[in-house]
Structure 1
Amino acid sequence: MSVENNGPLPGSGSNRLPLSRQRRDVLQHLRGQAAPVTATTLAHVCALHTNTVREHLDALVDDDLVVRERSAPAGRGRPAWRYRARPPQASPAREYAGLAAVLAAQIARSSTDPRADALAAGEDWGRVLTAGQEPTADPEEARKRLLHLLGEIGFAPEADARTRRVRLRRCPFVETAREHPGVICGVHEGLARAALGALGETPQDVELLPFAEPDACRLHLDTGTGPTGPDAVKHPHRPATPGEDR
């Protein structure tokens, strides 16, 4: 099952809007070139009009994803512009996005309980990310530390005054999450639950509402006294409707 709601932006760590499919294809073709190329050469590779490719390249240059440079002078006339793709940002989100897509598809195909396996994987990830950190006795401080961790990963969290209701405005794996929400969102929920459990001494409930808003997912954090095992995690089965406070 896939999700049609746009949800959060990709977790690139910048305010860049998501690339259109055609612009993303142009960038991918450019990344496949062994050396800088002209817009005309790339247009042949992409099977697009040169002016169309040039427009996409100009936008990619503005987004700092592509470098534009002059060719070496050769005879009369101004040297042509050549383009090369910048290396992908050195961030965990970009480095592992492809691997996440492959693993999510594998879990969705082969697991008898994809949701449970995704939660378990996320919990393992959360424990790894918080290994060696001393838990705090202040539940609110634990929640703030979790938000800091989520911000470092690329979720761009935006919380209310008490850090109980959080909007996740970005997602490191949003494209894969749209295709396999039960897996990727389960991993993220498990991550938040295990990390919060490691960062604080007081058990707290965790509820992730995937694609709950047109431009964000919602994460609900609260102090609780119930069990802290996997059964304590709430599993929403539908996105919240606009204005609904679940």
Structure 2
Amino acid sequence: MNIPTGLEQRLATPGLGPRPTRATPPAGAAPSRAEAAVLDLLTAHPEPVTAAALAQSSGQHTNTVREHLDALVEAGLATRERADSAGRGRPAWLYTATEVQQPVVREYAGLATALAMQLARTSDHPRDDAVEAGRAWGQQLAVERTAPSSAAGARREVVDLLTGLGFDPTADSRVLAVRLRQCPLIAAAREEPEVVCSVHLGIVRGALETWHTRSDETSLVPFAEPGACLLHLTGATSRTGGDRP
């Protein structure tokens, strides 16, 4: 399978793993670097949170964080609502990151979630079957794209494919290690991580195989580090053993 164990502990560790996939903001609505940093902090909170709480975790002044949050609300990247009243004074605002996705990502997320949950409920070997289902899916996605001429090109094409599916990947210079910084199935991945992430691994393997590239040593570490899952393409070399650029 090559999906390492230890998921339970990682899932219980706050901050590990990718953030939900979001749409690219419209022109003029893209957050500044400071606002994007606050948005990342906001995304890491599963429940609505106050500006004061975010300020404490970021080390910034509450008024500064509140200004960034209000800018994110205006851009449609966050929402706010009043907390329940608890005594005298006006209740604080509670902020939540907005979960919106591009249409193609929404379509993928819906289909992949339904597939993973069905396998989790009905399959005797859900992880293995999830990899095989993902492999068939990846093969279909790969034949719709221009075939790369080398294993290195195949790895780069995998990153491009994952970008289109909403994973916001970043890779090292040789595209051997890829950080998946967003996940279009984050809620389902937290509920059934081994099955959902096995579908993702299968997609990568199916695409590589279609592009005549070895995939048996590729691996995926879900919720591996703060802000990302890790995809290892170390074994993705040409079937003849070479790795031409």
**What TM-score range do you get, normalising by the shorter chain?**
0.5 to 0.7
Report the counterpart of residue 141 of structure 1 in structure 2. Answer: 153
Matched, 1:186 2:207: no
CA distance in 1, matches of 2:108, 2:146: 28
Check conservation: 2:21, 2:99, Cα contact below 8 A.
Answer: no
Q: Secondary structure at the residue paired with 2:222? A: strand
Check conservation: 2:20, 2:99, Cα contact below 8 A.
Answer: no
Equivalent of 2:18, from 8, 29, 42? 8
Question: Kindly tell me: are residues 213 and 59 of structure 1, through their superposed partners in 2, closer, same or farther at Cα, counting changes over 3 Å?
Answer: same
Structural mapping, 1:78-227, within 5 Å: 88-98=100-110, 100-198=112-210, 200-204=211-215, 205-221=217-233, 222-224=235-237
Q: CA deviation at 1:97?
A: 3.5
Question: Kindly tell me: are residues 62 and 147 of structure 1, through their superposed partners in 2, closer, same or farther at Cα, counting changes over 3 Å?
Answer: same
Question: Kindly tell me: are residues 208 and 22 of structure 1, through their superposed partners in 2, closer, same or farther at Cα, counting changes over 3 Å?
Answer: closer
TM-score under structure 1 normalisation?
Answer: 0.60
CA distance in 1, matches of 2:142, 2:114: 25
Q: CA deviation at 1:23?
A: 4.6
CA distance in 1, matches of 2:74, 2:133: 37
Letter in 2 for 1:176: A
Question: Kindly tell me: are residues 88 and 165 of structure 1, through their superposed partners in 2, closer, same or farther at Cα, counting changes over 3 Å?
Answer: closer
CA distance in 2, matches of 1:22, 1:144: 36
Q: Secondary structure at the residue paired with 1:135? A: coil
Q: CA deviation at 1:22?
A: 5.1
CA distance in 1, matches of 2:46, 2:129: 31
TM-score under structure 2 normalisation?
Answer: 0.60
Q: CA deviation at 1:20?
A: 5.0
CA distance in 2, matches of 1:201, 1:98: 29
Letter in 2 for 1:166: V
Identical residues among aligned pairs (%): 41
CA distance in 1, matches of 2:190, 2:99: 25
After superposition, the CA RMSD in angstroms is: 3.4
Structural mapping, 1:37-56, within 5 Å: none
Equivalent pairs counted in the alignment come to 178
Q: Secondary structure at the residue paired with 1:166? A: strand
